[in-house]
């Protein structure tokens, strides 16, 4: 029983993170989740503290990804055409594999914090020790999130900071990004745990609680900071949501009807929209095979002094490389190829091994080429935007680099892969955070919803319902201010975390040396 209760607590802690995020948005649960995990990690097994912490971390990750990322089952079963048992098994492998990152994170925390714990056994805990333990806990948590943003091309999903997209803490986003908000949440939750468990020794919790409250209070005046605009003239965008079934989209006989549908839905918006956006892979064939159709759209866009962006696959005939691309039509120029590809969806990691495994299970295999990281922004009606395709909007650093050379952030997506799951709504919330971090309007065009225009304060100004054929027309502004996050925050964050972890490492070695 003594081992079952911590296990249940770790699993519950992970599930609570999911419930704090979209579409549930019970944001206080983020604090409760961190408080539970911090409490569990302080109740060490003296004989094997690192193994115990790693196991609790894995169970936490299983609860987190099992509840928050199990929508991959939809992609595997419905669109990968696998049986229900196999899809369930592969989903468990996916979630369990991601949970290993959490096991590594909290195993490392226990290892680094061992010296502090042994010292506390010899003497009464003091304020400095409590503050350091909480600081290390928050830093390790965020380090784990950052690690997931690049390991094996990354899975930067379900960061706890997203739970505060519409709370007062959101105002920290333009300075420290989602990682900074995650840090404040983890620090606050751990401080809350310390306060609850301190009992008669409340003085030991005074410093962390005071610091946590201060960080929340400072966020209030930050939220009133004005946003600079390059001009006062609103621009109009129309985003076409055709809601074509993923099962039908790539069938050859549906190519012409699909292109005709996008043209028809756009027709009434050419005259009053500076920009029309079609979603990711809206034209379901290679660019080279759709030349005649694109020329017709080009003529229509020029006739109405408008511009169009559309997602379309493209191929380099010289290298035989395939890309997930965005092309421009009308009063716009430039082409963008997606940089961060989805593992097992657009490319195969460790292809020689993984491809054989996928072939054994009769799973479809696709292979695309990543675009160059230094691609230029697209020129649209005289202003600039470097687009982000689907999954790319969830990378904080990638979006910051794009925002630095963009007057507005544009992201196109094909969220039909998620089906009727919570995935698309999580995806939308992450786009809201990118708007907050970079103080940019975000124009989000999807195939079946949710398409949206997001303001620089992260608020959704207009959106479409899911699974409905429609066109979203709304106004937006061009912005050119560079936030601290856009300028340097996305690379200062890992430096800050590294400094804390380096200090913890030196502290541990110094204690070990004294013990000898």
DSSP one-letter string for 329-350: EESEE-EEE-SSPPBTTTB-TT
Most confident region among 77-86, 345-354, 449-458, 494-503 by mean pLDDT: 449-458
For residue 318, being part of any structural domain is answered with: yes
CA distances from 296 to 107, 224, 250, 256, 292 (A): 59, 47, 22, 13, 7
For residue 354, being part of any structural domain is answered with: no
**pLDDT (tens digit per residue) in 80-89:** 778 999 999 9
| Residue 445 CA from chain centroid, whole number | 17
Q: Is 360 exposed, middle or buried (0-12, 13-18, 19+ CB in 10 A)?
A: exposed
CA distances from 48 to 55, 345, 474 (A): 11, 39, 58
Q: What is the pLDDT of residue 344?
A: 59
Residues 471 and 500 in one domain: no
Confidence band, pLDDT 50/70/90 cuts, at residue 316: confident
Q: What is the pLDDT of residue 366?
A: 59
For residue 309, the enclosing domain spans 235-342+373-480
Residues 317 and 441 in one domain: yes
Q: Is 468 a catalytic residue?
A: no
**pLDDT (tens digit per residue) in 181-210:** 999 999 999 999 999 987 767 777 889 999
Residues 286 and 215 in one domain: no
pTM for the full predicted model: 0.93
For residue 363, being part of any structural domain is answered with: no
Q: Strand, coil or helix: what is 256?
A: helix
For residue 353, being part of any structural domain is answered with: no
Task: Please say if the pLDDT value at position 350 is more than 70.
Answer: no
d(CA 112, CA 120): 14
Reading across the β-sheet that carries 383-385, which strands appear in turn?
332-333, 378-380, 383-385
| Among the ranges given (210-214, 246-250, 331-335, 348-352), the one the predictor scored with the smallest mean pLDDT | 348-352
Residues 465 and 494 in one domain: no
d(CA 283, CA 375): 22
CA angle, 273 as apex, 447 and 382 as ends, to 5°? 105
Q: What is the pLDDT of residue 91?
A: 93
Q: What is the pLDDT of residue 203?
A: 75
Q: Give the number of domains in the chain.
A: 2
> Which among 101, 390, 392, 437 is annotated as catalytic?
390
Based on its alpha-carbon atoms, the radius of gyration of the chain, rounded to whole angstroms, reads 24
Q: What is the pLDDT of residue 205?
A: 85
Q: What is the pLDDT of residue 282?
A: 97
Confidence band, pLDDT 50/70/90 cuts, at residue 43: confident
> Which among 280, 346, 392, 437 is annotated as catalytic?
280
Residues 20 and 40 in one domain: yes
Residues 34 and 170 in one domain: yes
Residues 59 and 186 in one domain: yes
Residues 510 and 469 in one domain: no
Q: Is 338 a catalytic residue?
A: yes
Q: What is the pLDDT of residue 225?
A: 59
CB atoms within 10 A of CB 312: 23
> Which among 145, 186, 274, 338 is annotated as catalytic?
338
Percent of the chain with pLDDT over 70: 89
Residues 77 and 155 in one domain: yes
Task: Please say if the pLDDT value at position 286 is more than 70.
Answer: yes
d(CA 13, CA 59): 9
Residues 309 and 277 sit within 8 Å (Cβ to Cβ): yes
**pLDDT (tens digit per residue) in 400-430:** 999 999 999 999 999 988 889 999 999 999 9
Which CATH number fits the domain that encloses residue 432?
A: 3.60.110.10
CA distances from 121 to 37, 198, 219, 344, 454 (A): 21, 16, 37, 48, 52
Residues 198 and 334 in one domain: no
Q: Is 253 a catalytic residue?
A: no
Beta strand pairing status for 383-385 and 388-389? unpaired
Task: Please say if the pLDDT value at position 11 is more than 90.
Answer: yes
Instruction: Say how many residues make up the chain.
Output: 516
For residue 348, being part of any structural domain is answered with: no
């Amino acid at each position: 029983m003594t081992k079952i209760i911590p296990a249940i607590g770790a699993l519950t802690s992970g599930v609570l993170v999911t419930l704090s995020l979209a579409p549930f948005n019970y944001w206080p649960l983020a604090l409760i989740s961190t408080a539970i995990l911090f409490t569990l990690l302080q109740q060490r097994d003296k004989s094997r503290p690192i193994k115990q912490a790693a196991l609790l971390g894995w169970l936490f990750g299983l609860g987190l990804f099992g509840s928050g990322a199990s929508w991959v089952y939809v992609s595997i079963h419905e669109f990968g055409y696998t049986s229900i048992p196999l899809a369930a098994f592969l989903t468990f492998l996916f979630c369990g594999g991601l949970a290993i990152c959490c096991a590594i994170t909290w195993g490392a925390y226990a290892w680094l914090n061992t010296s502090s714990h042994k010292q506390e056994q010899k003497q009464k805990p003091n304020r400095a020790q409590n503050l350091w333990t909480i600081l290390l806990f928050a830093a390790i948590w965020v380090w784990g999130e950052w690690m997931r943003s690049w390991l094996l091309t990354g899975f930067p999903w379900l960061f706890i900071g997203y739970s505060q997209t519409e709370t007062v803490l959101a105002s920290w986003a333009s300075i420290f990004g989602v990682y900074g908000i995650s840090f404040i949440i983890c620090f606050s939750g751990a401080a809350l745990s310390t306060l609850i468990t301190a009992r008669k020794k409340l003085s030991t919790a005074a410093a962390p609680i005071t610091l946590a409250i201060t960080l929340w209070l400072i966020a209030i005046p930050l939220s009133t900071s004005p946003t600079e605009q390059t001009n006062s003239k609103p621009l109009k965008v129309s985003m076409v949501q055709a809601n074509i079934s993923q099962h039908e989209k790539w069938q050859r006989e549906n190519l012409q009807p699909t292109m005709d549908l996008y043209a028809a839905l756009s027709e009434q918006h050419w005259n009053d929209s500076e920009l029309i956006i079609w979603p990711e892979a809206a034209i379901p064939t290679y660019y080279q095979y759709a030349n005649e159709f694109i020329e017709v759209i080009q003529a229509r866009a020029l006739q109405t002094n408008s511009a169009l962006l559309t997602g379309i696959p493209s191929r380099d005939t010289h290298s035989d490389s395939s890309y997930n691309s965005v092309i421009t039509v009308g009063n716009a120029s430039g082409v963008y190829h997606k940089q961060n590809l989805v593992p097992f969806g657009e490319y195969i990691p460790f292809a020689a091994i993984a491809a054989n495994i996928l072939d054994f299970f009769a799973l479809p295999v696709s292979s695309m080429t990543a675009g160059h990281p230094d691609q230029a922004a697209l020129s649209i009606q005289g202003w600039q935007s470097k687009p982000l395709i689907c999954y790319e909007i969830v990378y904080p650093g990638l979006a910051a680099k794009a925002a630095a050379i963009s007057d507005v952030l544009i992201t196109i997506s094909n969220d039909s892969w998620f089906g009727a799951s919570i995935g698309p709504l999580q995806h939308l919330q992450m786009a809201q955070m990118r708007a907050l971090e970079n103080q940019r309007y975000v124009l989000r065009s999807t195939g079946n919803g949710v398409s949206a225009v997001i303001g620089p304060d992260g608020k959704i100004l207009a959106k479409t319902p899911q699974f409905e054929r429609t066109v979203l027309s709304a106004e937006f502004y061009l912005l050119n201010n560079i936030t601290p996050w856009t300028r340097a925050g996305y690379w200062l964050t890992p430096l800050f975390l590294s400094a804390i972890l380096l200090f913890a490492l030196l502290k541990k070695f110094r204690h070990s040396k004294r013990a000898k």
